A and B are shown apart, each in its own frame.
Chain A
Amino acid sequence: MVDQPKVPPSGGSGETPARPAEGTTAAPLPKAGAAPAKPVASKPVLAPEPWSSPLLDELRKRFPGALSNATVFRNLPAITVAKEALLGVCELLRSEEGGGYALLTDETAVDYPNREKRFEVIYHLYSFTRNDRLRLKVRVGEEEKVPSVVGIWPTANWLEREVYDMFGVQYEGHPDLKRILLPDGWTGHPLRKDHDILKQDVAWVQANLGIKSGQ
C-alpha cells in the first residue's frame, strides 16, 4: 500500500486519485524520480464510501424504495437498483434531465452462488455531457428474468447475449437471445462459479475417446 492523497469527492473523472501537481510545463522535471512530497498521514481509500449527489436524490424521489447501496469507490459511483425499476431508472438516466448517460459502455454479470439472488448484472454508463461514469447493479436469482435494455441502448444486444451465454441470465424483451461466443450445442454456462473447467470435457472424452477416467 502506498500513502497518497485522498480521492477528491467531486469531479466526474474515473481516473486514479489526483496526484500532487507537478506543473504542466514542458520542462523536464529536475528530479522526476523523487516521490513528490505528500502528506504522510493520508492513506489510500481502501473501501467504498457512501455516495450522495443531486442525481441520486432525484432518482430516490422518483423511484422510492428502488435504490439501495449507493457507494463510490475511486470516483466511480455505484447504485443497486431493484429489478422492477430498472427500465424506468435507465430511461431517466438516458434522458437529458437524468444526466444524459447516452453510452452504455459495458454490461456484464458477477456470480455470487452463496447469495439468495446469485447474479449481479452490472451496467457501466457514461455521460458525454457530464463526462461521468456510473455503475448500476441489479440482483437476480437463477430463475428470474432481467428486463432487457436493448430498447434504450441498442449496444446491449450483443452484451446481453454474452451475459446469457456465460452466466445463463435470462432477459425479458431481448430480440434474439441466443449464445454468442460458445457453440449453440454447448451445455452449461462457464463463468458461473460452480462451472469446473477441469471437469467440463470429461463427459465428451468418456463418450468419444472411451477413456473412463476422462483424462
Chain B
Amino acid sequence: MPDTTYLDASELVINMGPQHPATHGVLRVKLKLDGEKVLGSEAIIGYLHRGVEKIAENRSYAQFVPYVDRMDYVAAVTNGMGYVEAVEKLLGVEVPPRAQYTRMILAELQRIASHLLWLGTHALDLGAMTPVFYTFREREEILKILENYCGARLTTHAFRIGGLQYDLYDGFEKEVLKFCDYVGPKIDEYETLLTTNRIWLRRTKGVGVLSGEEAIALGVTGPVLRGSGVRWDIRKVQPYEAYDKVDFIVPIGEHGDTYDRYLVRIQEMRQAVRIIRQCVERLAPGPIMGKVGKIIKPPVAEVYHSIEAPKGELGYFVVSDGSTHPYRVRVRPPSFVNLQALDLMIRGHLVADVVAVIGTLDIVLGEVDR
C-alpha cells in the first residue's frame, strides 16, 4: 500500500468490504485506484476464523467429522468426504463399493449444487437478476435429496469413517435419476440466458485473465486452473473412491478469463450428471461400512489426502501419534489459495471487474478463514 496522501492526487486507496454484497461473505479488499482503474490490492481475511485445526486436536477422529462441514458450507458433502477418506487412508481401511458409489453420487450432486450457487450469485453480481432464481430452484431439489438421505440440507455430516451411517432410502435412485433428467435442460436454459448474451460477454470476456503458468505458480486449482487451459483434475490423475471406473471428461478453457471459467463450470455440471447416472447404474446391494473398530486408533504416521472439491484441491494432512485424537489436522483449503490470485487478476481492471473476479474465483469465506 502506498504512502501518498490525497493531496498528490490521482492515486486513491479505498476499502471494499468486509460487509459488501458482492464479496460473498466477510472479505475485505483494500484497493489502490487511479480513477476507476485498479493499481493494486490487498485482501484482508480472517473475519470468520474459528480455528478448526485447533478444534481437531481436541476431538477424537470421529468427533471432528461434523466440523469439516462448516468450512465450505455450500459443499459440505465434499468436505466431509475428504476428511473421512484421509482417516481411512491412515487406517488402511477399504470402503465397500456400495458406500463408494453412494459417496460419489452425493459428492457430484453437491458439486452441481455448489456450481449452481456460484452461477446464480456470480450472475447477480454482474447485473443478471434472473439466473439466481432459477439456479436456487434447481439447487433446492439437490438439498431435498440430501435432506431425505441424512436429515440435513447444508451441514450434512453424510459420511462416517469407513463408509456410511445410513443406507440409501427407498426410491433414492429414482429421485436422483429424475433430478438428472430435470437438470440437463435447465443447464441449457441458463446457457440461453448467458452464454451468448452480449452484456454477459462484455462483462466476462478478457476479465481477470490468468495464464496456466501463473495459475500453477500461485497454486490455483480446480475450475480456475482448468479455465486457464491446464487439464488437471484429481478425480482423473489420482482417482479416489471409484472415479477411475466412471467415464467423464475434464473440460478446460482456452484464454483463462472469467468467461472461460464460466464455461468450464457449466460443462462440469453436465459431466457431474454423467457421473451420477453411471454411479446409480452400478449401485448394488451390499454392506455400507468397512471394518473400522468402535474406537479409532490409527498407527503412528502422517497422511496427506486430497480430493477434487467443487472449488479445487481440498487436502487434509493428518498426523497421528497413535492415540484416539489426531495430533494435528491441516486443511488445505482451495478457496484460501485461489484467493491469493485476486491481486494479479484485477490489476489494470475497473472496480466493477473486481466484483466479477471475486465471483469467478468462487470463494467461500468459511473455508478461506476456517
Chain A residues engaging chain B, CB cutoff 8 angstroms:
1-2, 4, 13-17, 19, 22, 24, 26, 28-35, 44-48, 73-74, 76, 78, 102-106, 108, 110-111, 122, 124, 128, 131, 133, 135, 153-155, 157-159, 162, 166, 179-183, 190-191, 195, 197
Contact = CB atoms under 8 A, between A and B. Distances in A.
Contacts of B286: 31-34
B92 A2 contact: yes
Given A16-B88, A33-B284, A180 B337 contact: no
A2 B306 contact: no
A135 B238 CA distance: 16
A29 to B, nearest CB: 5
B237 interface: yes
Contacts of B247: 26
Interface in B302-327: 302-306, 313, 315, 317, 319, 327
A158 B336 CA distance: 9
A47 B300 contact: yes
A110 B319 contact: yes
Contact of A29 (B220, B238, B282): B282
A15 B239 contact: yes
A191 B245 contact: no
Contact of B313 (A105, A157, A180): A105
B291 interface: yes
B53 A157 contact: no
Nearest to B245: A24
B219 interface: yes
Given A4-B94, A104-B219, A108-B330, A14 B304 contact: yes
A2 B284 contact: no
Central interface residue in B46, B293, B370, by most chain A CB within 10 Å? B46
A173 to B, nearest CB: 17
Given A106-B304, A180-B45, 4 more contacts: A1-B91, A31-B286, A102-B217, A124-B304
Interface of B: 45-46, 49, 51, 53-54, 58, 85, 88-94, 96-98, 216-220, 230, 232, 237-240, 244-245, 247, 278, 281-287, 290-293, 299-306, 313, 315, 317, 319, 327-328, 330, 332, 336-337, 340, 369-370
Nearest to B300: A47
Contact of A33 (B220, B287, B327): B287
A103 B232 CA distance: 12
A195 B58 CA distance: 12
Contact of A133 (B45, B302, B304): B304
Given A105-B306, A181-B49, A158 B340 contact: yes
A105 B217 CA distance: 10
Instruction: Please list the 9 inter-chain residue pairs (A to B) with the smallest Cβ-Cβ separation, ordered nearest first.
Output: A33-B286, A155-B219, A44-B92, A32-B284, A181-B46, A2-B291, A46-B299, A106-B332, A108-B330
Contacts of B49: 181-182
B330 to A, nearest CB: 4
A108 B317 contact: yes
18 contacts: A1-B93, A1-B291, A2-B94, A28-B283, A33-B285, A33-B287, A47-B301, A73-B302, A106-B317, A111-B328, A124-B304, A135-B302, A154-B219, A155-B220, A155-B340, A180-B46, A191-B54, A195-B54
Contacts of B240: 15-16
B238 A157 contact: no
Contacts of A157: 340
B304 A76 contact: yes
Contacts of B46: 179-183
Nearest to A44: B92
A191 B331 CA distance: 13
Contact of B92 (A14, A45, A105, A155): A45
Nearest to B55: A197
A35 B92 contact: no
B113 to A, nearest CB: 26
Nearest to A198: B58
A76 B303 CA distance: 8
B291 A32 contact: no
A154 B128 CA distance: 35
A2 B313 contact: no
A133 to B, nearest CB: 7
Contact of A14 (B238, B330, B332): B238
Nearest to A14: B238
B53 A191 contact: yes
A201 to B, nearest CB: 13
B340 A190 contact: no
A180 to B, nearest CB: 6
B17 to A, nearest CB: 16
B284 A105 contact: no
